Structure 1
C-alpha cells in the first residue's frame, strides 16, 4: 500500500498538464500567421508607395562606341608607339608608317605644279606674240592694198596707152613695134593687178589665221591667273593629296581611350582600311540594360537610373538616365533568330535593351570597362 501512494500521486500531478499543449501550439501558429499577415500588409504598402515606382534588372552590361584605327594609305609599318591596355589621348601617335614613297610622290606633284604654272606663263606670252602677229598681218594687208592701188593705176595707164595706139595703128601713125610694146605692157599690168589682188586676199587670210590663233590662246587664259588656271588647280590638288598622304603616314588616336585588340607589328605592310587596333573611350561608356517586356510599360526617355557594378560592389553607385530603347529585342537580332512558327512553340518572355547614359564624372572616379555586369534600377515615377 505504501508503494501505491506515490504512483497515485504522480498520476494526479501529470493529468492536468495535458490540455496546455494544444493551447501553446495555437498561440504559436496564431503568432506566425499574424507576423506573415503584418509582413504581407507591410510589403503591400511598401510596394504601393515605393516598390511600384521602380523596375530593376541584373541583365545589364557596359558598352561603348569604340573607335577603329585603320590606315588611309598602303605602306610598311616603321614603328608602333602603343600596346594593349595603354591609355591614350586624342592626337597621340599610335603607328608610324614608312613615308619614303609619300615623300617622293609629294616631290613629283610639286614638280608638276611648277610645270603647270610655267606652261601658263608660256601661254600668256604666246598670246602677246600672237597679238603682235595680228598687228603685223594688218600691216601686210595695208601694204598689199597699196600695191593693189598701184597695180590698178598701172593697169589703167597700160590700157589707155594700148587703146590709143590701136586707134592710130590703121593710119600708120604707130609702128607695129610700138603697138606690140604697148600690148605687152598692158598684159604685164593686168598680171600685176591680179597678183596684187591675190596679195590682198592672202594678207587678209593670214591675218584671219593669226586672229583665230590669238582667240584660241586667249580662251586658255581668259579670266584666270597663274593660281586659278584649270591646269594649275589640278596640279595643286595633286600636291594637296600627296601632302595629305604624307601626313597620313602618322596614325594618331581619334579619341581619348584605352588601346585594345592591337593587331599590328613593326615591318608589317598594311593596306588602307585594315583594322590595326581599337580605342575604347572609357569616359563615354553606356549601359544596355535588358528589361523584360512586361516591365517597360512606363519606361520613358529621360528617367533617372541607379546602377551598381559587380566590379566595385554595392558601395559604389552610378547615376544615369534613359536615352532610348532598342529597335528590337535581343533575340530578334541574334545570329540565328528563334523560329516560333512550329507546332511545339512555347512562349518565352522577351527582353528589350534600354540604353542608359552614365555620368562622366562618376566614370572618372570609378572607371569601368566594356562588357562588365551591372545592376540597373529605373525610377519609372519620373516623367
Structure 2
C-alpha cells in the first residue's frame, strides 16, 4: 500500500514538470516567431525606404488634373443680319473657312457711294490745279490791261501838257476835256492795278490748296480714298471666317438674327493645341522645375495609353487666389486649408493626334523631379506668338482696297498726254491774248 501511495503521489509531479517544459518551449517558439516577424518588418521597412528613395521619392503625382485648351470666340467685326450659318456644334472647321454670312446689301451701297465720292473728289482736286493755270492767265491779262492803262495815262498827261502850253489859244472847254481824260485814264490804271493784285491774291489762295502735293496725294483725295478702303473692308467682313482649325462648340447664332460688332456667335476649340493643368499641393512644388518630364494617363483611355509631356510653367498664384470669391482669411475663424497651384504640362503632338483629348477630361499626372537644374518660375520673354490666325488676312484686304482706290484715281486723273496738249493750247491762247492786249 505504501508503494502504491508513493507512486500515485509522484505522478502529478511528473505531469506538472512536463507541462512546465511545454510552456517554456512554447514561449521560446513565440519569442522566436516574434523576433522573425520583427526582423521581417524591419527588413520590409528598410526595403520600402530604399525603394522610396530610389524611385518614388523622385516623383510627384496628382489626379487633380484636367485637359485645357484655348476657347477661340467667333465674333462679328461689323453690324449686320445673319443670312446663313454653315456649321453646327461638333463640326470640324478649317482656318479661313466662311462659317457665317451677313447681309451685304447696305455694305455694297456704301462701297458704291465711296467709289463715286472718290471719283468726284479727284475731279474736284484736278479743277484746283486747272484753276491755277486760269488764274495765272487772268494775272497776265490784268497785267496787260495795267500796261495799257499806264500808256493811256502817259498819253493823257502828254496831251494835257501840250494843250496847257498853247495858252489862250486853247479854249477852256478843251482844257477841261483833256483833264477829264487824264483823270479817267488814272482811274482805269488804278482799276487795272487792283485787278492785278486781286488776281495774284486769288492765285495765292488757290495755290495754298495745291502747293507741295500732287492730285494723288492731296488731302481731300486721301480722305476719300480712306473712306473707300474702309467701305471695301467692311463689305469683306460680312463673311465671317473660322479663326483657327478646330471644333465648333456653344453655337448661339441663328439665321435672321440681327447682330452687332463684338457679339459672340460661337466658339472654336483647337484640340490639336491642348495642354494639361495639374493642380499640385503646395508641398509638392518644392522640387518642381520648368523642363521636367511627366507621364500622364487619361481616364477616358485608361492606363493602356500613356502620354508624355513637359512641365512648361507654374501658375503665379493658387487656384483660390484667382477664384471669383477669394478667401478672406483675415476675418472670422480661420481653418488652414492646403492650397493647390496649377502647373501647366504640354503634351506630345504625335501622341495627341493618335489619341485626341477633349477639354475638361480628367488626367493623372506624374512628374519626374530628379532634374532640378531648371527654374520654378520662368524669367524669359516669349517672343513668338502662342496663338495666331491668318483668317482675317488684313494685309490682303489692305492691298486689294488700295488697288481699287488707285484704279479709280487713275481713271479720273485723265490722260497725261491730253493734259499736256491742253496745257500747251492754254499757254498759246494766253500768249496770244496778252499780245493782242498789248497792241
RMSD over aligned CA atoms reads 2.2
Q: In structure 1, which of residues 198, 203, 212 is the aligned counterpart of residue 192 of structure 2?
A: 203
Write the distance in 1 (CA, Å) between the matches of 2:153 and 2:102.
77
Indicate the SS of the match to 2:254.
Answer: coil
1:184 aligns with 2:189: no
1:119 aligns with 2:124: yes
1:239 aligns with 2:228: yes
Equivalent runs, 1:281-292 vs 2, <5 Å: 281-292=270-281
Deviates more, 1:28-37 or 1:60-69: 28-37
Indicate the SS of the match to 1:56.
Answer: strand
Q: In structure 1, which of residues 116, 134, 139 is the aligned counterpart of residue 144 of structure 2?
A: 139
Residue matched to 2:66? 61
**Unmatched 5+ residue regions in structure 1?**
1-7, 166-177
Residue matched to 1:106? 111
Write the distance in 2 (CA, Å) between the matches of 1:80 and 1:28.
80
Structure 1 position 143, deviation (Å): 0.6
| Higher Rg of the two aligned structures | 1
Residue matched to 1:41? 46
Q: In structure 2, which of residues 252, 260, 271 is the aligned counterpart of residue 271 of structure 1?
A: 260
**Unmatched 5+ residue regions in structure 2?**
1-11, 374-439
Residue matched to 1:173? none
Deviates more, 1:192-201 or 1:247-256: 192-201
Q: Deviations over 1:213-251 (max 9, x none)?
A: 122222222233332211111111111111111111111
Residue matched to 2:418? none
Write the distance in 2 (CA, Å) between the matches of 1:272 and 1:112.
26
Write the distance in 2 (CA, Å) between the matches of 1:366 and 1:107.
52
1:250 aligns with 2:255: no
Q: Deviations over 1:260-308 (max 9, x none)?
A: 0000111111111010001111111111111111111222222222211
Write the distance in 2 (CA, Å) between the matches of 1:32 and 1:61.
44
1:367 aligns with 2:356: yes
Equivalent runs, 1:76-91 vs 2, <5 Å: 76-91=81-96
Q: In structure 2, which of residues 291, 295, 298 is the aligned counterpart of residue 306 of structure 1?
A: 295
Residue matched to 1:71? 76
Indicate the SS of the match to 1:321.
Answer: strand
1:285–1:211: structure 2 CA closer, same or farther, 3 Å change rule?
same
Q: In structure 2, which of residues 149, 161, 165 is the aligned counterpart of residue 160 of structure 1?
A: 165
Structure 1 position 21, deviation (Å): 4.8
Structure 1 position 23, deviation (Å): 4.9
Residue matched to 1:379? 368
Write the distance in 2 (CA, Å) between the matches of 1:50 and 1:106.
70
Residue matched to 2:338? 349
Write the distance in 2 (CA, Å) between the matches of 1:201 and 1:381.
103
Write the distance in 2 (CA, Å) between the matches of 1:68 and 1:24.
77
Q: Deviations over 1:61-116 (max 9, x none)?
A: 11112111000111111111111111111111111111111111111111111111
1:129 aligns with 2:134: yes
Structure 1 position 184, deviation (Å): 2.5
Write the distance in 2 (CA, Å) between the matches of 1:24 and 1:365.
61
Indicate the SS of the match to 2:164.
Answer: helix
1:320 aligns with 2:309: yes
Length-normalised TM-score, structure 2: 0.77
Write the distance in 1 (CA, Å) between the matches of 2:72 and 2:253.
16
Write the distance in 2 (CA, Å) between the matches of 1:323 and 1:204.
85
Write the distance in 1 (CA, Å) between the matches of 2:164 and 2:63.
125
Length-normalised TM-score, structure 1: 0.88
Write the distance in 1 (CA, Å) between the matches of 2:331 and 2:224.
66
Write the distance in 1 (CA, Å) between the matches of 2:259 and 2:35.
80
